[in-house]
Amino acid sequence: MNRRTLLIELLGVGAAAPALAARARPRAAAARSDVLAGEASGALSSALPFEPLPGPMPLPGDGRTAAQQRELYGRIALDDRLVLPEGYRSDLLLSWGEPLADGRFGFNNDYLAFTPLGDGRALLTVNFEYISPRPWAEGYAEVTGTTLPFEELRQALAPRGGRVDASALAADDPLREPLLAVATAAMADLGIGVAEIARDADGAWRAAPGRYDRRITGLSGLQNPEQRLRCSGPAAAVFRRRRRLGYDDGLGDRVIGSFANCAGGQTPWGTVLSAEENFQSQVVERVYADGSSPPPAERPFRFDGSRLDGLGNPFGLAGNKYGWMVELDPRRPEQPAVKHSWLGRFRHEAVAVQARAGLPLVVFSGCDRHGGHLYRFVSEQLVRDPADPANSRLLERGRLEAAVFDADGTGRWVALAPETPLAPLRPSHYERFELSQPTLLPHRDRRQPGAEALASDTEVAAYLKRHRRLADLYPGSGEERQGAILIDAHLAANAVGATAAARPEDTDIDPRNGDLLIAFTAGGSDGEGRADPEIFRGPRGEASWPYGWVMRLQDGLQRGDASGFRWRMVATGGTPWQGGMGFAMPDNLAIDRAGNVWMVTDRSSGSSLDMFGNNACWLFPASGPRAGEALLFATGPMECELCGPCFDLEESTLFLAVQHPGEIHGTRQRGGEEFQAHTLEDRDGGRFEQLRQVPLGSNWPSPVPGRPPRPGVVAIRRRDGRPLL
């Protein structure tokens, strides 16, 4: 039966659809019971402390026969809830709108960091990344107890195409008041939060407001200069200079707020690093050769009901001050957060810190864009004691390098320094794979900000006759020149030949051996950049592979090779019949003390990857008969992304952020659903059709239809109180 026939059959029994879901779930449970009675399930239960969830498609290691797979997966229904294995429970810890310090718990919580305080108390640091306009607007009044003029603003902007340069509005323009109200509220829901939590008598973590609670928003410091963030490293010299090609915000080296805070990491000395990722949605990304930013007018405010962008425009924010790695000490709320410019300005999605006594401090980070790069910072001075809080100063002097991957599994680091020669990848490299990809380089007219695309090798050769080193692209000297390079890190890395990567979204250090694990979310193109198909290839050599990989990298610096490394792919996304492991688009990673890798996925709702169902949390055991397999541990509510996995000290609790539930369809109403047909393959290679019932929108964390969804953080633990694994 083809998909069209299957859907026609479905439409004929549409009135019975709710009953379909009721029948589908017991059938799935029965199929699991059948397997549990057999030999395969016995091996599974003896090897793992939980039975992996079945998920939306057959997996090679699920222990089911082909007939059982077809029976289980023929008709399924997705759930608008956080689904866990039997024996586990989740508790909502914090959610959007709850009071936090002098503000509120923000929207679209992402990265989480656990900091113990002792005596059953701890701090949870949380990133708030961006605004999903539909669920944010639908839930704002209920969550905050106030209203905003959403519809008034949308209608007023409609004749202007949904956007406006707020700086060009007259003081008495009637558009100013609703625009500023919405923009200010949105910025209040972004940034970073620190929340105190405590264990209750049952061993569960609960919110416990205390003196460490803190909020850094997108506008911190706008009204109170004492709340402004500090900038360290060479970019500070760029911000302080009086003569510049571009815009001057008048703040010198101080910065208003932080936003687009996505992934992050913790240092061995107890601070937290928060990564500013898709800042280009809110401020101008491109810069001039001297590192200065074009005026905010180039990124106008936009609100059309489906997008809320350009939030920096109404407040005159300089784009070159965003896209950094932010360090804060959650135990010192009075201490200003710092943007460390030696770590580079790009779309940071990840950070991993390696501190060993007698060696330089090393920080790895990735740029989450098609064709983004993997970076390594190496401190100028050596680490004495990895736990010494003074190590933060090591982030203020060093060198930033970008990775060049070779197809033989080796690689090298190239410094983003003035003396580094230019060696960009040519368009002909992609033509060998029947792909068209221009070379994106800093504009050859150095009075122009941003990049230009060179479509042929001839154009690239002409470019290199005029510009031979990074010093030729960035004028000035000393810290100002180095600062301009760091501010323009992505294009500078393109120019020196760094490998165009497949959206590196997370980096984590394996505690057993010091290896770096990297989640590459998707290989392909966004029309501007493209992953190098020589390195990022599908299981059968596909030049574009949208399902992602996990890589293991052995950095040479810890082994006496300052500039080299070795790499290999250790997990590949995609369906099993395509050669993948059953997941799609790996995002955040966490590694427990035993070396087990926990991974969450970021599959966009409504995309061509619908076959993979809701975003999920997967476990890769480090040992035992299932070592290296992808085991499904949790699936999220509708249209959400699971983010920021981290553990408490005992590893008895897994904290997860549930981000943007209902992002596409907003609030789920009673009966709101659609039906999908997917062609799957069983373990014997036999094709069969799956009929899938899919709720539209979300009500999470409420189970009641009509309630607006809210992002939030959950604490997951075993019901018997034992460690997770």
Q: Does position 459 have pLDDT exceeding 70, yes or no?
A: yes
What is the average pLDDT across 243-263? 97
Q: Which pLDDT score is estimated for 305?
A: 85
Q: How many CB atoms lie within 10 A of CB 436?
A: 10
**Average pLDDT of the chain to the nearest whole number:** 92
649-698 per-position pLDDT tens digit: 999 999 999 999 999 999 999 999 999 999 999 999 999 999 999 999 99
Q: How far apart are CA 164 and CA 149, in angstroms?
A: 16
Q: Does position 508 have pLDDT exceeding 60, yes or no?
A: yes
Range of lowest pLDDT (59-63, 160-164, 219-223, 578-582): 59-63
Flag whether 88 is in a domain.
no
Question: Cis omega (within 30 of 0) on the bond before 701?
Answer: yes
Flag whether 495 is in a domain.
no
* Number of residues that make up the chain: 725
Domain count across the chain: 1
Q: Which pLDDT score is estimated for 37?
A: 24
Under the banding of pLDDT at 50, 70 and 90, the label for residue 527 is confident
Flag whether 442 is in a domain.
no
Nearest alpha-carbon partner for 700 in 21, 110, 105, 82: 82
What is the average pLDDT across 155-184? 96
Q: Side chain identity at 636, as an amino acid letter?
A: G
Q: Which pLDDT score is estimated for 30?
A: 28
Q: Which pLDDT score is estimated for 625?
A: 87
Helix axes 17-36, 66-73, angle to 10 degrees: 150
Flag whether 285 is in a domain.
no
What is the average pLDDT across 522-529? 92
Q: Which DSSP category does 699 fall into?
A: -
Q: Does position 16 have pLDDT exceeding 50, yes or no?
A: no
Q: Does position 36 have pLDDT exceeding 60, yes or no?
A: no
What is the average pLDDT across 444-465? 97
Under the banding of pLDDT at 50, 70 and 90, the label for residue 606 is low
Q: Does position 360 have pLDDT exceeding 70, yes or no?
A: yes
Q: Does position 185 have pLDDT exceeding 80, yes or no?
A: yes
Range of lowest pLDDT (28-32, 52-56, 555-559, 606-610): 28-32
What is the average pLDDT across 120-126? 98
Flag whether 445 is in a domain.
no
Q: How far apart are CA 198 and CA 232, in angstroms?
A: 34
Q: Which pLDDT score is estimated for 84?
A: 98
% of the chain at pLDDT higher than 90: 89
Flag whether 48 is in a domain.
yes
pTM here is 0.93
What is the average pLDDT across 410-415? 98
What is the average pLDDT across 405-416? 98
Q: Which pLDDT score is estimated for 161?
A: 96
Q: Which pLDDT score is estimated for 350?
A: 85
Q: How far apart are CA 621 and CA 69, in angstroms?
A: 23
Does 302 or 14 have the greater pLDDT score?
302
% of the chain at pLDDT higher than 70: 93
Q: Supply the range of the domain harboring residue 67.
A: 3-77
Strand-strand pairing, 410-415 and 398-405: antiparallel
Range of lowest pLDDT (64-73, 82-91, 227-236, 607-616): 607-616
Flag whether 497 is in a domain.
no
Q: Three-state SS for 381? A: strand
Q: Which pLDDT score is estimated for 212?
A: 98
Q: Does position 370 have pLDDT exceeding 70, yes or no?
A: yes
Q: Does position 456 have pLDDT exceeding 60, yes or no?
A: yes
Q: Cα 249 from chain centroid?
A: 29
Give me the residues paired with residue 276 across strands: 261
Helix axes 17-36, 39-47, angle to 10 degrees: 80
Q: Does position 29 have pLDDT exceeding 70, yes or no?
A: no
Flag whether 18 is in a domain.
yes
